[in-house]
Amino acid sequence: MRMVDTSRFQDADRYASYLKTAAGRLRSELAWENLRRVLPSNASRRRALDMGSGPGLTSQQLAQTGCEVTALDISAEMLGLARRQAEAPGLAARISFVHADARQLQELFTAESFDVVVCHNLLEYLEDPFKTIQDMAHLLRKGGVLSILVRNRAGEVLRAAVKSGDWSLASANLSAPTVVDTLFGEPVRVFAPAEVRNLLARAGLEIIAESGVRVFFDYLGCEDPSEEAYRQIFELEMKLGAQPEFAAIARYLQVIAVGARHSSTKENER
């Protein structure tokens, strides 16, 4: 599959606006809470890499824990917005902003450079997701934490069937390599849980947690809940996302792994 066109990411304001919606907030806040719970207890002054950082919300959250953060994005506009948003809370000094492609990781950083690597909603847009996972594993110190968030195939099937009522599309999504992103109207890759587990294992990473993100919210027909309702939704989403039977049908799959060994063997390069 060819690499998905990334020109859509030049519209930083549109993407930042999405992240302020209930759906966008849930995706980012649920993923952060899942990651926060497994961050090293001595994260202060540790190094973190935020891959495909976008407007920089996760970079700010990592910086607030005391990490020295590198925010990497292919979009200069996204990085500019991320820098501006980090200045107001006084976090910009803890964040380095790097304008680069995910394929440049080994050119930019030496092995075992980071204690935390976050790769949320990026693998969907890459031609070779496994190569990027390998590169991230190479940059991760032993025992360091890698968090991956991707679109879950089962969630896309259910969304087409239940919310859109497009049963032909739902059937096609059972095996289609991509689905159409509703925000930008462009194709993005989808993953099955077993596929993600296999990619991480091949890269020499040990999975320590799996969660579903947005199990039921997409079907509520409630796009603008009150803040009280949002907190109740968030709490239930956290509970359901932690249970495998519900996580399996979530819109997004989050898998957290730790660095166990380097991915330089012939087996990993197959």
In a domain, 1, yes or no: no
In a domain, 267, yes or no: no
Structure tokens given for 20: 């302020």
In a domain, 32, yes or no: yes
**pLDDT reading at 8 higher than 90:** no
In a domain, 156, yes or no: yes
CA distances in angstroms from 257 to 22, 78, 171, 193, 237, listed in the order given: 28, 27, 32, 14, 21
CATH number at residue 103: 3.40.50.150
Pairing verdict, β 95-99 and 252-259: unpaired
Please tell me the total count of domains within the chain. 1
The mean pLDDT of 168-183, rounded to a whole number, is 92
In a domain, 123, yes or no: yes
Q: Which domain holds residue 117?
A: 7-259
Q: Average per-residue pLDDT in the chain?
A: 91
Q: How confident is the model at residue 76 (pLDDT cuts 50, 70, 90)?
A: very high
In a domain, 252, yes or no: yes
What is the per-residue pLDDT across 130-156, written as a single tens digit (0 to 9) for each?
Answer: 999 999 999 999 999 999 999 999 999
Q: How confident is the model at residue 4 (pLDDT cuts 50, 70, 90)?
A: very low
Q: What's at 243, amino acid-wise?
A: Q
Structure tokens given for 28: 């980012």
In a domain, 266, yes or no: no
Q: How confident is the model at residue 44 (pLDDT cuts 50, 70, 90)?
A: low
What is the per-residue pLDDT across 65-74, written as a single tens digit (0 to 9) for each?
Answer: 999 999 999 9
In a domain, 270, yes or no: no
Give the pLDDT confidence score for residue 10 in this predicted structure: 65
**pLDDT reading at 39 higher than 80:** yes
Q: Could you tell me which residues come within 8 angstroms of residue 232 by beta carbon, excluding any fewer than 6 positions away? A: none
